[in-house]
Structure 1
Amino acid sequence: MPEDVVEGGRRRLKPGAIPVLFAWNNYNLPVTRPSVWQRTQRQEEDEGEVPIDASVALCHDYDSRPEPAFMDLAYEKIHAQQQVIIELQRRLEEVSLGQKFGLERYKTSDEDIRFYTRFASYRHFNAFWLHQVEPVSRRIVRVGQSSSTTVPDETADPPRRPNRCLPLIDELFLFLVYLSLGLKESDLADRFNVHQSTVS
């Protein structure tokens, strides 16, 4: 630059001056490019965009909430899926019931009840169960279970009832099938899906 040259006598540069004019750049200064910050500001002013700080705040708005319509659509979708699950569970119960041999499978058919139990109908069988068997079911003593004639201690814990492979009403049904048809224990065990010793 001319102001960086010391005139008088021998031409020299001032201390701290940096030569920038050379023959290879035709002794012209290069056009200074605006900084990234200047270019960004100019672009925002030209396009009418929001300042950088505001755009960053919008990008990171963690307090924003979805529109109500989106929530309604999500709720409807979840509700529809729940209905599908309920329907599939119902079908699964029907298939499982059709494969299971027990009273629940035949209670809608009086003909089958007569064949397997010799009761006239399910209504007669159920009346026998409700009035004769179920009221005394807690006093049933099973094989291998000790029976005591002593007076029970009221402070003691009640005796633990043994775990059953079948509901008690199905045990009655199994016994009646055995009496009515005379099936072998292995056959009954296979039908009711229990071990042969349980049938015995």
Structure 2
Amino acid sequence: MKIILVDDHPVVRHGLNQTLSLESDMEVIGVANSTGAGIDLIKKEKPDLAIVDLNMPGGGGMELVREIRSCPLDVKIVILTSHASQEEIKEALSLNVEGCVLKEILPEKLVNAIRLVLKGRRYYDPNIMQITLTPNKKDKIDQLTNRELEVLKTLAGGLNNKAIANKLFISESTVKKHISNILDKLELQDRTQAALYSYSKGFGEDEWA
């Protein structure tokens, strides 16, 4: 699998390169130190995956993601960050960014996250999800019924209503009712926020493993 690294910090690029070089099935085919350089490199090399710093000169990681997603390229993207706002995470989800990890992630966990993403799954670090949610929304999960909790977990896996219904052997209308109850009880605005909440509880990794 061919990987490109896009980060403006030389130490981070070196550390990532060193970690991935130990994996026999992973090859770093290029590195870039800015958003513009990263976009050009990805378009030229067409890697399987790009690891992109969220905060960089030239527009930042999300600008790169928007540009790459507008092109006919089959490139999976993992965002690397030390922190992220709820709006940034929501945009990442809407742009189908496959992964989001903290810069201090352990090397073995990073490799596992990359492998999940390359299998067509999604990995968002639960610690990032905790940062994006306000404290009063973290303690309401005990209000959910067992079935609502099951539905919440499937939202972390990115399933639509039909897929959830098939997975849990219930009707789509029942799924919609459960999701409505989840939003009310957790005081969340929409399905995306419910997915973020679910990730914050660590359900995302389980659902996609």
Larger strand proportion, structure 1 or 2?
Answer: 2
TM-score normalized by the length of structure 2: 0.20
Higher RCO structure, 1 or 2 (CA under 8 Å, sep 6+):
2
TM-score, length-scaled by structure 1: 0.21
